[in-house]
Structure 1
Amino acid sequence: MKIVVALVSLSMVIMVGMVFQAVHQEIKMRKAKNRMVESSLEVKRKEEAIVELKTKIESLGQTIKTTNSKNEELRRKKEEASQSNKNFGERLGTCSNEKAEIVKKKTDLTKIISELKANHEQSKEKASEEIQNLKQQILDRDKAICAFVDTTKEEARKLCGISESSR
């Protein structure tokens, strides 16, 4: 009997040990299952965050592309404006040179015109003097002719300025 009691006690101790072991394993399994559920939830959240970040990255990529294209367009416009500015500068230089030439020609022509006006005035004065001299010579000649002309004729009276009443 002693052996039976010892065997029953030993089997009880072994059984309690096995129950304890089973309960301990069950608790560990539940904890592992809970951690696994939490980990899967965390993985899902992180996946969602990754997907969200991907969409943000794609939208930022599109924004960068549009910004780069606008930047390139602005560079082209800047180059065109620079080229246009250079062309306008060259045209301005050409126009300035032409203007300087025209101003020089104008001053030369103004000088020539003033000289011609002065010469014209002098010529006019000389011509006026010559006309006066010629008129005086004609009057002197007419007076000399009037002294010898027959005043009875009408042409002679007209030439000498004699009226019929003074005869």
Structure 2
Amino acid sequence: MMEKVIFTLSGNHIYGKKQTRHRMRAISAVIFMAVCVLVVLAFQGIRQELNLRELQGRIKRATEQVKKKEDEIVESKQKIQELNNQIAPMNTKKDQLTKQKDELQKSTDNAQKDLEKCNKEKADSEKKKTDAAAALPKLKADQEEEKKKAEEEIQALKQQILDRDKKICEFVDPNQTEGMKLCGK
């Protein structure tokens, strides 16, 4: 609202020029301050809007990167699962082969022990054979010698018996049948 200004003859207003000037300056200062505040607020608003847009862009890019990484992770997990599915039968086969290998190793060890035992028995048998073969001529010689001694003893005994029978036959009556049998007549 505007106040009425009364002019006088001398040219002085009731309020005076100074008051009006001060008032105008104050109003101008307030308007200037308001404009400055508006400019600052507008600048801040624009700056915040730009920051928000930049943050939204970053969030969007980060979200895209996260989604891409999640997709890669899911794909990697699927590949890992496929590989695990391929490895599972191989692990089973490996376990079976390991078991077979262990059984074959046991069998080989047992066969090796049996072979060593057989080789030892063979060596013992060959040693006995060699010892027996070495002892055989001596045994034959000893046997021949004993045979000769036995034959000599038998001959000596036969001779003794014949000599005894001759002596008995000299005394036996040849007319009796028992005496004839004994003396061979």
Pick the TM interval, shorter chain. Answer: 0.5 to 0.7
Partner of 2:115: 141
Q: Indicate the structure whose relative CO is greater, using CA pairs within 8 Å and at least 6 residues apart.
A: 1
Alignment of 1:85-104 (within 5 A): 85-104=59-78
Unaligned runs of 5+ in 2: 1-5, 128-185
Equivalent position amino acid for 1:74 in 2: Q
User: Is residue 41 from structure 1 mapped to residue 14 from structure 2 by the alignment?
Assistant: yes
The Cα of 1:77 is off from its aligned counterpart by 0.5
1:35 and 1:84 map into 2 onto residues whose CA distance is 67
Partner of 2:42: 68
1:123 and 1:113 map into 2 onto residues whose CA distance is 15
Unaligned runs of 5+ in 1: 1-33, 154-167
2:24 and 2:97 map into 1 onto residues whose CA distance is 105
2:57 and 2:41 map into 1 onto residues whose CA distance is 24
Alignment of 1:45-56 (within 5 A): 45-56=19-30
Equivalent position amino acid for 1:103 in 2: K
Equivalent position amino acid for 2:123 in 1: V
The Cα of 1:42 is off from its aligned counterpart by 3.2
2:26 and 2:73 map into 1 onto residues whose CA distance is 68
Equivalent position amino acid for 2:93 in 1: N
The Cα of 1:53 is off from its aligned counterpart by 0.9
Work out which of the residue numbers 106, 110, 133 in structure 2 matches 1:132: 106
Higher relative helix content: 1
The Cα of 1:129 is off from its aligned counterpart by 1.2
Partner of 1:119: 93
The Cα of 1:119 is off from its aligned counterpart by 2.2
Distance 1:97 1:54, change over 3 A: same
Task: Name the TM-score, length of structure 1 as normaliser.
Answer: 0.59
Q: Which moved more, 1:125-134 or 1:80-89?
A: 125-134
When the two structures are aligned, how many residues end up with a matched partner?
120
Work out which of the residue numbers 101, 107, 127 in structure 1 matches 2:81: 107
Distance 1:51 1:142, change over 3 A: closer
RMSD (Å) for aligned C-alpha atoms: 2.8
Q: Which has the larger radius of gyration?
A: 2
2:7 and 2:61 map into 1 onto residues whose CA distance is 75
Task: Name the TM-score, length of structure 2 as normaliser.
Answer: 0.54
Q: Deviations over 1:72-102 (max 9, x none)?
A: 1111101110110111011101110111122
